Structure 1
Amino acid sequence: MWIIHLHLRLHYFSFKIQQTCSMFYPIAKRFAKVALGVYFRKIYLANMDSLPTDKPIILAANHPTAFIEPIILACWMDRPLHFLARGDLYVSNLLLRKIYDWSHMTPIFRLEDTGYSNLKSNYGTFEKCYELLEKNKILMILVEGRTCHEKRILPIRKGTARIVFGALEKHGDMDIHIVPVGVNYTNSDNFRSVAMIEFGEAIRATEYTQLYKEAPAKAVKKLTNEIGQRLKKNVIHIENKKDDAFVEKLFGLKENETDGSFLPVSSPKNDLLHSQKKIAEYVNKLSDGDKNKLKENINSYFEKLKKNNLSDFGLMHKNYFSLKNTIFLLLGFLPAIFGYLTNILPVWIGNSLAKKIAPAIEFRAATAIVFSSFAYLIYGAVLYFTGYKMGFGWRVFLLLLIPLTGYFYVFYSDIYKKWKEGKKAAKCKERILKEILEERKMIKKMVAGL
């Protein structure tokens, strides 16, 4: 009897562990959504509502950061998101393996990361992908195969097409939708930057079934090319790396003409993305002579701004230097300082660890967000348990007050920076402002999309 009793206890204990682990994804999703809402000033998610609700979906995305893009999509999509992630981390640590499993991550092993020894493990990865698609799940694949912090699309790997056809071979003619997802950032490494994500037109795998039966290699190549072509429509693509710096200045001019509201954090709009795409496409087509002339005008404009201690944002938004904003900044100073002082420690810990462990620009922001979030949870727990003499009610109040005032500080800081730049423009001589604005208008006339 005691053996049966022990077996039942172990079975119950195992069930409870599985139940607890299954809660990891929804809980982590809520924390991550808050963290991303603080880190990014705005997250644009265009055409996400066009995704089919009852079909197997592969989200074929580009890969400008280590893992911010899958986290954003996981947080804002209603259906759970499964995605492929680097396998070298999976094999290196037992805890990481559990986190992979709980977070719906499936390891993919690349030769350059793990060598030949783990490549055979990809058979299990492919089987997992087939199983997910057969169950009408959403699978995200970063189709470039490597991360690159640049505003250009890289060659698309054939792995996505192979997974599609492997699933069709194993489970028959499933109606798999391959949806290109363009992931773009104003600058993902900068706090309070903007994320711009656009879902493109879906590719139906059934359109390639017959070709795959006749010529598998040709079908894989054709589908891969189609994924690349459709993805490129949703990605900002600067052809020449030498143009990156001055094209970024053009992007800034367009962004500064918009004054995005603080809330809500997410928006379905794609205006900013499309205008930046038009600017990049225009520059890509310019001759070297026209490009040099445009660079001269841009450099002249920004030199005049610098000479007069102005910014392009301030020039466009003098109205931020207003009585209303001045009163707000005066009244909100003490709550903002409290929010800063009570929240800076976990943020500093997260940023310091990120710079030390993952100094590469592609990884820095993502790891800083993750480390800061974990540090924040530990920080909150320490405050709660060390303040036991305060009583339960006061401890709960404090744990609510600290993050709320921290978020208020972020809002306050945004307003202060805009107020400060608006003040500089408002105090500048009208003659100088008109002269600089004329140069800006001339640049706008030269560039399509501005």
Structure 2
Amino acid sequence: MIKLQNAKKIGPGYKFFKFLSDRYHDNLYYRRVEYTGVENIPENKPVLIGPNHQNALIDAMAILASKRSQAPVFLARSDIFSTDFLGNFFISLKILPVYRLRDGKDKLAKNEEIFDLSVEVLEENKVLVIFPEAEHTGYRSILTLKKGLMRVAYHTAEKNNFEIDLHIVPPGISYENYYKYRAKLLVNYGKPIRIVDYKEKYMENPQSALLILKKDLQEAIEGLAIHIKNKEHYETFENSRELYDFTVAAKENLNLKKLSDKFKCDKKIIAKFNNLVEQKPEKFTEYKIKITEYFSNLKKSKMKDYLFDNPISLTGNLVVSLLWLILSPLLITGFI
């Protein structure tokens, strides 16, 4: 039998797991990790964290390692709870199952107990983590949020007459590389959304209030993570982040060695290309053709774009300049 209530407990096994997980995550698995806005996670208050979801279990580890003093309860898909042994193991790690329609209609009723237990976690001034996209993708795009997190938030508030000071904290997780060992990771925490600020809207129209909160959380997460909304030209946007980052950093006086500055560069580049797609589609098409040709030539030559960013000698300058002329007619200085 799976003992769901144990998810609220912190046993010696969990403490040992968290100790190892935090240090492995920050010191071994990644070459460098930056956390910003961690101070936005309130202490001794009910906190509902809603991160973007792009890298399966690794996303949960990023949230877990962000603040070592917290011991959040996570909601995860139920298929990992395939046996009582595995179920109780994950429960001991403070993970609760969520059942979906694909798990069978007969199992959906089990979500009521999970729902009630989630409310209890918040009522005890603890931290609950729900991935509001409800699925993960290996792309730098935020999916349309599902309503689950919003329902938990409003149900908790309504049950407590909106006198509970529930904070919804939106993090944005941005990976340098989804699969590469010793890559870099940035986790941005935004300003908390206080559920009490939605009380009037909820009293007037609960369904409308749910959609408003969902929209506000969607926008918050999109601002805190790398979000390429244009699926048709996704590869062009991705390549542009690599191609123009050095140019933008120089213009904006940003240091690309700082992950938060690299993030700012990426957001500016993506915004620029979004503007081109919407207002100057012909110009965007020109850039797309040149960018595609450039990266195709790089691939054929087995070279990387960063080789052109910062040559360190006169000889290097001459070699890089020659290669640049051969590989691409694109003049990136005209882009910004």
Q: Is TM (by shorter chain) over 0.5?
A: yes
Partner of 2:22: 33
Per the TM alignment, residue 183 of structure 1 is displaced from its structure 2 partner at its CA by 1.8
> Contact 1:188–1:194 (CA<8 Å) still a contact in 2?
no
Q: Deviation digits for residues 250-289 of structure 1, max 9, x if unmatched?
A: 22235677664xxxxxx8x522222212222222222332
Q: What is the CA–CA distance in structure 2 between the aligned matches of 1:97 and 1:437, rounded to whole Å?
A: 55
Unaligned runs of 5+ in 2: 1-5, 250-254
> Contact 2:256–2:262 (CA<8 Å) still a contact in 1?
no
Partner of 2:188: 198
Q: What is the aligned-residue RMSD (CA, Å)?
A: 3.0
Q: What is the CA–CA distance in structure 1 between the aligned matches of 2:185 and 2:320, rounded to whole Å?
A: 35
Partner of 2:114: 125
Of structures 1 and 2, the larger Rg is shown by 1
Q: What is the CA–CA distance in structure 2 between the aligned matches of 1:284 and 1:98, rounded to whole Å?
A: 47
Per the TM alignment, residue 131 of structure 1 is displaced from its structure 2 partner at its CA by 0.9
Aligned residue runs from structure 1 range 88-99, under 5 A: 88-90=79-81, 92-99=82-89
Aligned residue runs from structure 1 range 394-405, under 5 A: none
Aligned residue runs from structure 1 range 409-424, under 5 A: none
Asked if residue 295 in structure 1 is aligned to residue 285 in structure 2, the reply is: no
Partner of 1:167: 156
Partner of 1:81: 72
Give the AA of the match of 1:33.
D
Instruction: Return the structure number with greater helix share.
Output: 1
Aligned residue runs from structure 1 range 120-269, under 5 A: 120-172=109-161, 173-253=163-243, 260=257
Q: What is the CA–CA distance in structure 1 between the aligned matches of 2:87 and 2:43, rounded to whole Å?
A: 30
Q: What is the CA–CA distance in structure 1 between the aligned matches of 2:168 and 2:200, rounded to whole Å?
A: 17
Q: What's the TM-score, normalizing by structure 2? A: 0.83
Partner of 1:415: none
Q: Deviation digits for residues 273-332 of structure 1, max 9, x if unmatched?
A: 22212222222222332222112332444456557664322333555x9xxxxxxxxxxx
Q: What is the CA–CA distance in structure 2 between the aligned matches of 1:80 and 1:254, rounded to whole Å?
A: 40
Question: Per the alignment, do residues 290 and 105 of structure 1 end up closer, same or farther by CA in structure 2, a change over 3 Å counting?
Answer: same
Unaligned runs of 5+ in 1: 1-16, 261-266, 322-424
Question: Per the alignment, do residues 259 and 207 of structure 1 end up closer, same or farther by CA in structure 2, a change over 3 Å counting?
Answer: closer
Partner of 1:327: none
Per the TM alignment, residue 21 of structure 1 is displaced from its structure 2 partner at its CA by 7.4
Per the TM alignment, residue 190 of structure 1 is displaced from its structure 2 partner at its CA by 2.4
Question: Per the alignment, do residues 94 and 219 of structure 1 end up closer, same or farther by CA in structure 2, a change over 3 Å counting?
Answer: same
Partner of 1:432: 322
Asked if residue 276 in structure 1 is aligned to residue 238 in structure 2, the reply is: no
> Contact 1:297–1:443 (CA<8 Å) still a contact in 2?
no
> Contact 2:142–2:229 (CA<8 Å) still a contact in 1?
no
Q: Deviation digits for residues 170-209 of structure 1, max 9, x if unmatched?
A: 2331010111111222321222332222111211100112
Three-state SS of the structure 2 residue aligned to 1:233 is: helix
Q: Deviation digits for residues 320-363 of structure 1, max 9, x if unmatched?
A: x9xxxxxxxxxxxxxxxxxxxxxxxxxxxxxxxxxxxxxxxxxx
Partner of 1:24: 13
> Contact 1:56–1:138 (CA<8 Å) still a contact in 2?
yes
Q: What is the CA–CA distance in structure 1 between the aligned matches of 2:71 and 2:145, rounded to whole Å?
A: 25
Give the AA of the match of 2:319.
K
Q: What is the CA–CA distance in structure 1 between the aligned matches of 2:226 and 2:320, rounded to whole Å?
A: 36
Per the TM alignment, residue 438 of structure 1 is displaced from its structure 2 partner at its CA by 9.7
Give the AA of the match of 2:64.
A
* Equivalenced residues, count: 316
Q: Which moved more, 1:159-168 or 1:208-217?
A: 208-217
Aligned residue runs from structure 1 range 327-366, under 5 A: none
> Contact 1:32–1:71 (CA<8 Å) still a contact in 2?
yes
Partner of 1:408: none
Per the TM alignment, residue 141 of structure 1 is displaced from its structure 2 partner at its CA by 0.9
Q: What is the CA–CA distance in structure 1 between the aligned matches of 2:217 and 2:125, rounded to whole Å?
A: 20
Q: What's the TM-score, normalizing by structure 1? A: 0.63
> Contact 1:132–1:138 (CA<8 Å) still a contact in 2?
yes
Q: What is the CA–CA distance in structure 1 between the aligned matches of 2:241 and 2:328, rounded to whole Å?
A: 18
Q: What is the CA–CA distance in structure 1 between the aligned matches of 2:199 and 2:220, rounded to whole Å?
A: 19
> Contact 2:290–2:328 (CA<8 Å) still a contact in 1?
no
Give the AA of the match of 1:432.
L
